[in-house]
Structure 1
Amino acid sequence: MNNKEVSINKVDELVNRAQLAINDWQCSGDVDYVHKAYANLQQAAIRLTLSRQAAKPKKSELMYSVIGDTLAADYENLDLYDTPEEALKEAKDFLKAGDIVTVLEMAESGWQPYICIDSLLEEFQDQAFTEGGEASEPWSDFIASKAMTAAADELEDELNNVLKRWLEKYQVEAGWYKETGKEYRYSFDGIDFIRL
């Protein structure tokens, strides 16, 4: 049995458990069975999403896109291509002899969200003020004090470690590409491209 079959079997098992829990709820009226059904369906949905992501062909690390001042106004293709040649081929129909275009090298973004403890503590202070008004000021002063600096740094590290594990677990990635700074300029002679 391959990984795909194992994953499908696990999803089937989770859906079956959810169906049994719904049946139990219908017979007993006990709300806990609805929560069990929901939890099983949620896990099944997560497994299906992850298996679909794993099945998608991974784009190469570097991709290429074409830009140029001389491209026709109706050329709005911002797609990414595996090679500079593929990107140029797509732009060819929108060029005339003498046009110059630039192929941009793009790399997948490694960006991940980050929890800033200063912003988070400010949010907590706002919440405290909303809840307690001026009576919350001693609590807010203590949270923002120099005595709590090391504790705040510790909290920031721990929260970001939890966030990182959560992002990895659910394979949450930026998914976009950004310019690397490398550019390749080409002149179009009406038939072929000449690298400048």
Structure 2
Amino acid sequence: MKLLLVGLGNIGVEYAYTRHNVGFLVVDYLAAQQKVTFRVSRLAATASFACKHHEVYMFKPTTYMNDSGKSVRYWLNHLKIPVEQSLTIVDDITLPFGTMRLRAKGSDAGHNGLKDIALALHSDCYPRLRVGIGHDFPKGGLADFVLGNFNTKEVEALNAHLDKACQILIAWCNGGIAHAMNQFN
């Protein structure tokens, strides 16, 4: 069976270690664990690895966060993977830094990347891993916060959080959404 892990973020070195790119950071961390590298392909950077009886594809859209849907739709169709066999990894300001929540479906909660995916798929019924980045910003400071770099305290804890996210992804690959939710939510 084929599975697809979608890390959301923005391309470009200026965004590489920003909070909004936590989806990219998670799949990069998993790629390093699996000893695979991403290569640029159509609408995304892609990599793959075997996990038990599954071929797991990972990708990072090269369309910027707010246009992620086009890339997700293309790769689901190209690889012939049903949407329920995909998992989108995304930053979430409503969760404290490092907190993670798996969901089988749900609203975009104001996240433009998720909103664009729902528009492209004509549905919000796709699994996602929401990775908390906190909400320590003043009124009107959302864009600066999500597009800003992690602070020193967050950087010190980041690898542990990325490792936990990868454990969740592997649990999802091995047992599906319900199994991973029971284990980690």
What TM-score do the two structures reach when normalised by structure 1? 0.17
More strand by share: 2
What TM-score do the two structures reach when normalised by structure 2? 0.18
User: Does 1 or 2 have the higher relative contact order (CA < 8 Å, sep 6+)?
Assistant: 2
